């Protein structure tokens, strides 16, 4: 289904070695992604070589950017078809992974995918702003990630309430993010975070990627997250 030689080579280009067993799991992932995509809208990327680069390798760049402690509890907010966290868990099966999405049909896919890949993931159907107020999720995760097009102001309010003190929110963004970073400084601080590192690099297809690592340095105020309408209409400035 996918070119395993391409996958192995592109992983090596970002500093990762993957085993034959892991390659087989990525092949299974791609197969299920395309099969289920015929029934529901999971991805607009359907060419096998693009799935390798734009989904799998792109997701795995996070492993080279952030420190993943052994058996860390990780939350993927608005995970969609499981990116970036499911590829990461293929390479790091020790991670305790929770997948959060607001669409139940995606959770159905993720549950089936997790089972097929032998991953004991927790798949939760909920809106981030609601789950972020529940004690079982609020400030419970060492790593929280989101691969989304939303502005960092918005993403931070959705995601930082989940991060425990000392943990990391890793926002995966497109190439140019300096202006967005400047506009998000107050929001990040209000929510208890501090931008620790920004990494910028190119994927094997020459597209640009930025990963913003935000460390949780203090508890998030109980005022946040606000309802989704307020987050979108009145971003923290």
Confidence (pLDDT) at 203? 87
pLDDT band at 20 (very low <50, low <70, confident <90, very high): very high
Q: How far apart are CA 179 and CA 212, in angstroms?
A: 13
- CA separation for the pair 83, 95 (Å, rounded): 15
Least confident of 20-24, 25-29, 179-183: 179-183
0.85 surpassed by pTM: yes
Q: What pLDDT is attached to residue 186? A: 94
101: number of Cβ within 10 Å: 23
pLDDT of the residue at 205 = 86
Q: Indicate whether 201 pLDDT > 90.
A: no
- The residues with which 199 forms a beta bridge, in sequence order, are 211
- Residue among 87, 82, 33, 93 nearest 62 (CA): 87
Residue pLDDT, tens place only, 130-166: 999 999 999 999 999 999 878 999 999 999 999 999 9
- Is the backbone peptide bond immediately before 49 cis, with ω within 30 degrees of 0? no
Say which residue, 87 or 235, is predicted with more confidence. 87
Residue 27 above 80 pLDDT? yes
Residues 45/113, Cβ–Cβ less than 8 Å: no
User: With 80 as the cut, is the pLDDT of residue 121 above it?
Assistant: yes
On the 0-12 / 13-18 / 19+ scale of CB atoms within 10 A, 96 is middle
Beta bridge partners of 143: 74, 168
Q: What percent of the chain has pLDDT over 70?
A: 100
How far apart CA 79 and CA 85 sit, in angstroms, is 8
Cα separation of the two ends of the chain? 46
Domains (ranges, CATH) in the chain? 126-237 (3.40.50.150)
Position 70 pLDDT exceeds 90: yes
Structure confidence at residue 198 (pLDDT): 95
Would you state the torsion angle of the CA atoms of residues 213, 193, 88, 1, taken in this order, to the nearest 10 degrees?
Answer: -70
pLDDT, position 207: 87
pLDDT at 81 over 90: yes
Instruction: Round the average pLDDT of the chain to a whole number and report it.
Output: 95
| SS3 track for 72-108 | CEEEEECCCCCCCHHHHHHHCCCCEEEEEECCHHHHH
Angle at 45 between CA 30 and CA 184, to 5 degrees: 110
Instruction: Report the DSSP beta bridge partners of residue 194.
Output: 215
pLDDT reading at 175 higher than 80: no
In this model, does residue 54 exceed pLDDT 80? yes
């Amino acid at each position: 289904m996918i070119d395993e030689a391409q996958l192995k080579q592109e992983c090596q280009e970002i500093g990762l070695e993957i085993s034959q067993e892991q390659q087989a799991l990525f092949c299974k992932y791609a197969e299920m992604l395309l099969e289920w995509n015929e029934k529901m809208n999971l991805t607009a990327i359907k060419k096998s070589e693009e799935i390798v680069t734009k989904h799998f390798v792109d997701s795995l760049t996070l492993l080279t950017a952030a420190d993943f402690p052994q058996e860390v509890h990780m939350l993927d907010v608005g995970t969609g078809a499981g990116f970036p966290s499911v590829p990461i868990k293929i390479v790091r099966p020790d991670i305790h992974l929770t997948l959060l999405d607001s669409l139940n049909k995606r959770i159905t896919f993720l549950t089936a995918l997790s089972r097929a890949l032998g991953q004991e993931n927790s798949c939760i159907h909920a809106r981030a702003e609601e789950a972020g107020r529940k004690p079982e999720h609020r400030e419970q995760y060492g790593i929280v990630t989101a691969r989304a097009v939303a502005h960092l102001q918005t993403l931070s309010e959705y995601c930082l309430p989940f991060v425990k003190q000392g943990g990391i929110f890793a926002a995966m963004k497109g190439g140019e993010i300096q202006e967005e970073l400047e506009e998000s400084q107050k929001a990040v601080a209000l929510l208890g975070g501090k931008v620790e590192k920004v990494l910028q690099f190119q994927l094997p297809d020459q597209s640009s990627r930025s990963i913003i690592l935000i460390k949780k340095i203090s508890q998030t105020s109980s005022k946040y997250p606000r309802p989704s309408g307020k987050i979108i209409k009145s971003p923290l400035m």
